[in-house]
Amino acid sequence: MKWYTHAAIGANAVWLTVLFGEPTQTAILYTAVGAFAALLPDIDAGWTGSRGAKIHYIAGGLFGIFKGLFRHRGFFHSFLSIVLLFCALIPLAWMIDPLFPLIFTAGYASHLFIDAWNGGMQWFYPLRKDLTFVPKFFRFRVGSAGDDLFFLLGVWGLILFVFMHWSTFASANLYLMR
Ligand SMILES: [Zn+2]
């Protein structure tokens, strides 16, 4: 998937805030957390000759040092990486917000889930076998119409989220205008 497709789908991790009642105005910050986390797995992209993934260029190129260091769609596209990431983030539940580890991990996991439509990855790393649960008929190339469809799905999801919690955000506007 293109990076913006991952970002749009990952931003929908904001929906998890509804598990804990009506989201507050600050919940919208979680769209950024989800979008960023969704770019992270491609930290393993960018082998020699490739341009690398968006993640290598954001935050002032902070993640650029990882370019081409790992096997693409290996460990960073596995169940193991999801579990380890969640465990590593647990302290942030106290340091930042109780929902932070869950939403960050959901954004990350969404990347793997939609990448499956492009082809196989090492889901069961350290087992080095490329697997996908999407039948061949439904798979498509990165940057094709299917990619755009997922992007639109992500955008619609975000619009729906704002629409459904409009009263919360409308009051935020009133507050800003005062
Ligand atoms: Zn990927």
Lowest average pLDDT, out of 56-60, 154-158, 172-176, goes to 172-176
Q: Cα of 1 to ligand 1 centre, how many Å? A: 7
Q: Cα of 35 to ligand 1 centre, how many Å? A: 13
Q: Cα of 166 to ligand 1 centre, how many Å? A: 33
How far CA 176 is from CA of 41, 103, 154, 165, 169, in Å, comes to 36, 27, 27, 17, 11
Q: Cα of 142 to ligand 1 centre, how many Å? A: 10
Q: Cα of 41 to ligand 1 centre, how many Å? A: 6
Q: Cα of 74 to ligand 1 centre, how many Å? A: 9
Contact 83, 105 (CB under 8 A): no
Q: Cα of 172 to ligand 1 centre, how many Å? A: 35
Q: Cα of 25 to ligand 1 centre, how many Å? A: 31
Q: Is the pLDDT of residue 175 over 70?
A: no
| Chain-centre distance for alpha carbon 100 | 13
Q: Is the pLDDT of residue 168 over 80?
A: no
Q: What is the pLDDT of residues 25-51, one digit of tens each?
A: 778 899 999 999 999 999 888 765 555
Closest CA to 10 of 125, 140, 112: 112
Q: What is the pLDDT of residues 72-125, one digit of tens each?
A: 889 999 999 999 999 999 999 999 999 999 999 999 999 999 999 999 999 999
Angle, in degrees to the nearest 10, between helices 29-39 and 100-115? 50
- Full-model pTM: 0.90
26 is written with which tokens?
């600050």
DSSP string, 13-29: GGGGGGGGSS--GGGGH
The CA R_g of the chain, rounded to the nearest whole Å, is: 17
Hey, what's the torsion of the CAs at 125, 37, 160, 96, to 10 degrees?
120
Instruction: Determine the average pLDDT of the residues in 153-171.
Output: 88
Q: Cα of 42 to ligand 1 centre, how many Å? A: 5
Q: Cα of 114 to ligand 1 centre, how many Å? A: 9
Closest CA to 55 of 70, 37, 71: 37
